[in-house]
């Protein structure tokens, strides 16, 4: 009778691991296939009889890096994503600090109102935002693309949940020492909630880096295209039947590399930030 529960737990654990392994394989396989196909010729990509290339075509990457617009698209996305993440973390941290620590009448109602906007479909805001940017003369520009993404409702929610875990005794001690709001935010709150800040910055960066619909609506100039738009241009510039699929796969692999590096480096902080968020919610 003692070994039955233990056996049952081992079987259940093994089933869970098998399920997770299967889900992992389904998730990773498209990326693996893309990376392997980037080393094939066009004929090998179209053929379905072999998974690995007969001879790795490393020249595909040289073609992408030195003779294609993909590096420019990649630089555009990095510039916009870093700028948006910086502006969002500043704006959202100020707002979250205000509705958490400052004695503002109706601050809870204000916070709920902001959260309500998260329920609105993003596509509904495209037309009014487009009109506003048009009147400001910010269409087809980096300024319009960056400023239109300057605030994140998810970031406000995430940071406010993290700020609520800061002990009020620490806040009162900082005020007694003569610290102002900005000093408290940067010297007290930020060090105590750093994992949440890092998680938010990474989520903001990835979301902007991968965005496609909104940048496609407000930017027309090819040299301003982000990497998602650039990949589509690169895919169809030779026509539907003239596409060099091996080069397309190499271009896709190159664009994924920055995210893989970022994810690998920041993985411990991401896990810690999400765990803290879940515990403090």
Give the model confidence (pLDDT) of 41-80 as tens digits.
Answer: 888 888 877 788 888 888 899 988 898 888 999 999 999 9
Mean pLDDT of all residues in 214-239:
83
Q: Is the pLDDT of residue 82 over 90?
A: yes
Q: How far apart are CA 268 and CA 98, in angstroms?
A: 29
Q: Integer distance in angstroms from the first to the last C-alpha of the chain?
A: 40
pLDDT mean over 266-272? 71
**What sign results for the dihedral spanned by CA atoms 186, 188, 194, 197?**
negative
Residues in contact with 84: Cβ distance below 8 Å, sequence separation at least 6, in sequence order = 146, 149, 150, 204, 205, 208
Share the mean pLDDT of the chain: 85
Q: Which whole-number Å values give the CA distances from 203 to 37, 66, 86, 157, 275, in the listed order?
A: 29, 30, 12, 13, 15
Residue 4, pLDDT score: 54
Every domain of the chain and the residues it spans: 67-237
pLDDT of residue 238: 55
pLDDT at 122 (0 to 100): 84
pLDDT at 1: 45
Of 16-30, 239-253, 255-269, give the lowest mean pLDDT range. 239-253
Q: How far is CA 192 from CA 42, 100, 221, in A?
A: 53, 15, 43
Round to whole Å and give the CA distance between 213 and 1: 60
Q: Closest by alpha carbon to 280, among 150, 162, 157?
A: 162
Q: What angle do CA 275, 181, 108 make, to 5 degrees?
A: 60
| 135 pLDDT tier (thresholds 50, 70, 90) | very high
Does 218 score more than 50 pLDDT?
yes
What DSSP character marks residue 205? H
Average the pLDDT over 139-164 and give the result. Answer: 91
Q: What pLDDT is recorded for position 130?
A: 93
DSSP state string for 14-79: HHHHHHHHHHHHHHHHHHHHHHHHTTS-HHHHH--S-SS-SS--THHHHHHHHHSSHHHHHHHHHH
User: Which CATH architecture fits 67-237?
Assistant: Orthogonal Bundle (1.10)
Structure confidence at residue 222 (pLDDT): 85
Name the packing angle between helices 245-280 and 194-210 (round to 10°).
150
pLDDT for 152 beyond 50: yes
Quick check: 151 and 139 in contact, CB under 8 A?
A: no
């Amino acid at each position: 009778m003692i070994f039955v529960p233990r056996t049952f737990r081992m079987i259940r654990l093994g089933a869970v691991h098998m399920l997770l392994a299967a889900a992992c394989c389904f998730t990773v396989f498209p990326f693996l296939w893309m990376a392997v196909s980037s080393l094939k010729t066009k004929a090998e990509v179209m053929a379905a009889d072999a998974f690995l290339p007969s001879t790795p075509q490393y020249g595909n990457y040289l073609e992408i890096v030195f003779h294609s617009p993909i590096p420019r698209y990649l630089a555009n996305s990095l510039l916009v994503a870093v700028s948006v993440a910086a502006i969002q973390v500043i704006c959202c941290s100020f707002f979250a600090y205000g509705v958490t620590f400052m004695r503002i009448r109706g601050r809870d109602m204000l916070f709920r109102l902001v959260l309500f906007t998260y329920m609105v479909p993003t596509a509904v805001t495209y037309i009014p935002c487009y009109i506003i940017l048009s009147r400001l003369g910010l269409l087809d520009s980096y300024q319009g693309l960056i400023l239109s993404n300057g605030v994140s409702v998810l970031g406000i929610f995430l940071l406010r949940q993290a700020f609520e875990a800061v002990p009020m005794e620490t806040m009162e001690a900082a005020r007694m020492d003569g610290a102002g709001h900005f000093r408290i935010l940067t010297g007290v709150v930020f060090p105590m909630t750093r994992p949440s800040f890092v998680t938010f910055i990474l989520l903001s960066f990835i979301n902007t880096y991968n965005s496609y619909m909104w940048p496609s609506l407000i930017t027309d100039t090819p040299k301003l295209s982000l990497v998602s738009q650039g990949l589509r241009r690169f895919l169809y510039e030779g026509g539907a039947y003239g596409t060099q699929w091996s080069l397309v796969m190499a271009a896709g692999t190159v664009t994924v590399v920055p995210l893989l590096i970022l994810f690998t480096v920041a993985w411990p902080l991401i896990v810690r930030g999400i765990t803290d968020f879940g515990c403090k919610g």
